[in-house]
């Protein structure tokens, strides 16, 4: 079974994957790890055992873990028109989803 350990910086934290205590090893299923690993930054969580997946920003499709600047670069690289005004991160995510739904993932 894979184990996940919260490394800090705080003693305890509430995260979208649950509540974590620094230094406490938590056994998780491989399925849980595959679904949630992208939400566990390597600076704050240590993953041992099981098959871990890379969690770099270099994933194929931008998600909420990407920053706004990188999303805009990805959209421009795909030829998506983003307009002349300021584009928020949530608006960029909507453009990404729209682009994906159109089926043009070259």
Instruction: Render 14-76 in DSSP notation, one character per residue.
Output: EETTEEEEBT-EEE--HHHHHHHGGGS-TTTEEEESS------TTSSS--TTS-HHHHHHHHH
Predicted pLDDT of residue 57: 45
Q: Considering the entire predicted model, what is its pTM? A: 0.49
Rg (CA), the chain: 17
For residues 40 and 60, state if they share a domain.
Answer: no
Quote the domain boundaries for residue 76. 56-106
Contacts 24+ apart (CB under 8 A), 98-103: 99/75, 100/61
How many domains, the chain?
2
For residues 99 and 64, state if they share a domain.
Answer: yes
Predicted pLDDT of residue 35: 84
Top-ranked range on mean pLDDT: pick from 43-47, 48-52, 54-58: 43-47
Percentage of the chain exceeding pLDDT 90: 35
């Amino acid at each position: 079974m894979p184990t996940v350990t919260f490394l800090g910086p705080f003693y305890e934290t509430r995260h979208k994957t649950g509540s974590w205590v620094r230094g406490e090893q938590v056994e998780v299923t491989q399925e849980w790890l595959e679904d949630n690993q992208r939400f566990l930054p390597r600076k704050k969580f240590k993953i041992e055992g099981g098959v871990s997946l890379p969690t770099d920003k270099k994933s194929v499709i931008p998600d909420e873990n990407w920053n706004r600047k990188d999303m805009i670069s990805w959209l421009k690289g795909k030829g998506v028109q983003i307009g002349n005004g300021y584009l928020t991160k949530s608006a960029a995510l909507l453009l990404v989803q729209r682009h994906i739904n159109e089926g043009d993932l070259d």
